[in-house]
């Protein structure tokens, strides 16, 4: 099994506040890795570093190494737009653009220079199929995405991320704003997607981590406390702090 993202001795500060401390982790390819831990422990911060979303935050300082496919993501040679094409992101709250369902999905491919209508039609259909929503929306592709339900909007945002054919999909609590039925549909979808993509998912829901992930990383106060196969982390945690968190003693 090969690792697609490798993080070595990474620290991150927002101004004077150190949000991540000496993080070392390897993200295995075509698996689902869950990041768990209490609020404010650094999970989302690390996730957003993988596709350099933290570049957009003022006063961020990062030390250490992050390699994607063995290339340093902070190298001057790296084109951030290309990196974000390879490493897509789905946010906590569905954020469809105020345009049609079709245009939401075609947005990324168009940005990357695809203008041929036949090609765009193919990409849009495939992405919506991959996001398990094609059958629900195929007759209203020209309608506004803002008229969809929350669960549909989130699957549309997943389709939008898939349309540029990424290798990695980052998901920052993708179901926290959804009802239980939509949540289980997204979970089923994520488990299907790992056949083609590497998925890294931040979740507050430990049952969700158990249900969908192959590997789990537990964070606390900016440190990576423990990382391993999900079954091992939840059944035989090596660190007392992991055990305390997953048994509900704190967090």
pLDDT of residue 56: 86
> pLDDT digits over 13-66, tens only?
999 999 999 999 999 999 999 999 998 899 999 999 999 999 888 999 999 999
> pLDDT digits over 169-202, tens only?
999 999 998 899 999 999 999 999 999 999 999 9
Query: pLDDT band for position 248 (50/70/90)?
Result: confident
> pLDDT digits over 102-161, tens only?
999 999 999 989 999 999 999 999 999 999 999 999 999 999 999 999 999 999 999 999
Query: pLDDT band for position 251 (50/70/90)?
Result: low
- 3-state secondary structure string, the chain? CCEEEEEEEEEEEECCEEEEEEEEEEEECCCEEEEECCCCCCHHHHHHHHCCHHHHCCCEEEEEEEEECCEECCCCCCCHHHHHHHEEEECCCCCCCCCEHHHHHHHHHHHCCCCCHHHHHHHHHHHHHHCCCHHHHCCCCCCEHHHCCHHHHHHHHHHHHHCCCCCEEEEECCCCCCCHHHHHHHHHHHHHHCCCCEEEEECCCHHHHHHHCCEEEEEECCEEEEEEEHHHHHHCCCCHHHHHHHCCCCC
User: What percent of the chain shows pLDDT beyond 70?
Assistant: 99
pLDDT of residue 80: 94
Query: pLDDT band for position 167 (50/70/90)?
Result: very high
Average pLDDT over the chain reads 95
| Distance of alpha carbon 187 from alpha carbon 58, whole angstroms | 34
pLDDT of residue 229: 98
Query: pLDDT band for position 249 (50/70/90)?
Result: confident
Question: Any idea which residue has 């398990």 for tokens?
Answer: 132
For the cut 90, the answer to whether the pLDDT of residue 215 exceeds it is yes
pLDDT of residue 26: 97
């Amino acid at each position: 099994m090969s690792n697609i993202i490798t993080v070595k001795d990474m620290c991150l500060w927002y101004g004077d506040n150190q949000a991540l401390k000496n993080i070392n982790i390897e993200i295995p390819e075509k698996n689902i890795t869950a990041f768990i831990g209490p609020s404010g422990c650094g999970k989302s911060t690390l996730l957003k570093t993988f596709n350099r979303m933290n570049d957009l935050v003022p006063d961020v300082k990062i030390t250490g190494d992050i390699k994607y496919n063995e290339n340093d993501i902070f190298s001057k040679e790296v084109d951030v737009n290309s990196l974000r094409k390879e490493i897509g992101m789905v946010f906590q709250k569905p954020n469809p653009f105020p345009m049609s369902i079709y245009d939401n999905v075609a947005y990324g491919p168009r940005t990357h220079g695809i203008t041929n209508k036949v090609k765009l039609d193919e990409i849009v259909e495939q992405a919506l199929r991959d996001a398990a929503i094609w059958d629900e929306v195929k007759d209203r592709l020209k309608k506004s995405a803002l008229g969809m339900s929350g669960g549909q909007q989130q699957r549309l945002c997943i389709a939008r991320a898939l349309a540029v054919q990424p290798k990695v999909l980052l998901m920052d609590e993708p179901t926290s704003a959804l009802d239980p039925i939509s949540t289980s549909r997204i979970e089923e979808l994520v488990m299907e997607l790992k056949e083609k993509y590497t998925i890294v998912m931040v979740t507050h829901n430990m049952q969700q981590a158990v249900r969908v992930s192959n590997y789990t990383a537990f964070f606390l106060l900016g440190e990576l406390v423990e990382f391993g196969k999900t079954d091992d982390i939840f059944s035989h945690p090596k660190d007392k702090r992991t055990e305390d968190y997953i048994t509900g003693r704190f967090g």
